[in-house]
């Protein structure tokens, strides 16, 4: 099981996740831009995980020349990216509800220079994650050892929390403050996932099978056997 957090780790986790909320309240950050960056981060992380699964099942050829190898490497990224774009449509449309129905705010977000800088940072972080995951797969780690399904579930369900609240109409209650409310919700959900991922998974519909079993209980059907490991996002 994951090692328990100590107080300094908890404080660091809380501070890291609430930093955008503080930036919005005290430093003039645009809440809509931050929320849109959260969606971008979700889609990029999905792309990385899907690419990892693809590489695990269909690794690029190693003995068919550099052109075939390059084509395989590009294919590992392009197809998952296209899939993530299609997934992003139903995940992204509710942004309208999360921002109080203000399309102008979303248009301003994508033209904001700070948004573009943040997007570049997100892309860089995703590339770094892909390089690390690619190296682990090429080193012989299996899909079960890397727990890609669990990682995908945590990324997906974190955004699902926002979607469930958005479809309750909460975004329309707060008007111009709606984006800030959802940024705070995302930050709080991220804190829970970082500190207690298994409790979060058990609380979400269909998430229990990816959670580690409670002490003294067998794993859920379809779940990998429990074993020591490092904490994962």
Residue-wise pLDDT tens digits, 118-144: 899 999 999 999 999 999 998 888 888
Task: Report how far apart the first and last C-alpha atoms of the chain are (Å, whole number).
Answer: 14
Does residue 166 lie in a domain region? Answer: yes
Mean pLDDT, residues 18-36 taken together: 92
Chain centre distance of CA 130: 13
Per-residue pLDDT at 64: 61
Does residue 67 lie in a domain region? Answer: yes
Mean pLDDT, residues 73-82 taken together: 79
**Closest by Cα among 6, 135, 32, 218 to 208:** 218
Q: Could you list the residue range(s) of the whole structural domain that residue 26 is in? A: 7-210
Q: Which residues contact 76 (CB under 8 A, 6 or more apart)?
A: 51, 54, 55, 60
pLDDT digit string (tens) for 147-201?
A: 999 999 999 999 999 999 998 888 778 878 899 999 999 999 999 999 999 999 9
Cβ contact 36:95 at 8 Å? yes
Per-residue pLDDT at 74: 72
Within 10 angstroms of residue 128's Cβ, the number of other Cβ atoms is: 11
Per-residue pLDDT at 21: 95
Token couple for 195: 């500190």
Does residue 85 lie in a domain region? Answer: yes
Does residue 1 lie in a domain region? Answer: no
| Count: domains in the chain | 1
Per-residue pLDDT at 16: 94
pTM above 0.75, yes or no: yes
Which one is predicted more confidently, 175 or 9?
9
Per-residue pLDDT at 176: 81
**Closest by Cα among 85, 100, 59 to 182:** 100
SS3 206: coil
Per-residue pLDDT at 47: 94
Does residue 100 lie in a domain region? Answer: yes
**Closest by Cα among 138, 151, 123, 173 to 233:** 151
Does residue 218 lie in a domain region? Answer: no
């Amino acid at each position: 099981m994951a090692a328990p957090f100590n107080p300094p780790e908890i404080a660091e986790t809380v501070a890291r996740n609430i930093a955008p909320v503080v930036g919005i309240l005290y430093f003039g950050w645009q809440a809509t831009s931050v929320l849109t960056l959260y969606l971008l981060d979700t889609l990029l992380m999905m792309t990385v995980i899907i690419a990892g699964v693809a590489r695990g099942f269909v690794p690029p050829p190693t003995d068919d020349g550099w052109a075939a190898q390059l084509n395989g490497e590009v294919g590992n990224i392009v197809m998952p990216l296209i899939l993530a774009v299609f997934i992003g449509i139903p995940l992204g449309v509710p942004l309208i509800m999360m921002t109080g129905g203000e399309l102008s705010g979303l248009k301003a977000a994508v033209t904001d220079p700070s948004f573009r800088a943040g997007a570049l940072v997100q892309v860089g972080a995703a590339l770094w994650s892909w390089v690390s995951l690619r190296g682990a797969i090429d080193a012989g780690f299996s899909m079960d050892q890397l727990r890609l399904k669990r990682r995908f579930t945590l990324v997906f369900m974190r955004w699902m929390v926002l979607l469930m609240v958005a479809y309750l109409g909460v975004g329309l209650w707060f008007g111009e403050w709606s984006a800030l409310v959802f940024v705070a919700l995302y930050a709080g959900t991220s804190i829970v996932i970082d500190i207690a991922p298994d409790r979060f998974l058990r609380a979400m519909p269909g998430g229990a099978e990816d959670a580690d079993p409670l002490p003294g209980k067998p794993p859920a059907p379809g779940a990998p056997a429990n074993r020591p490991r490092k904490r994962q996002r």
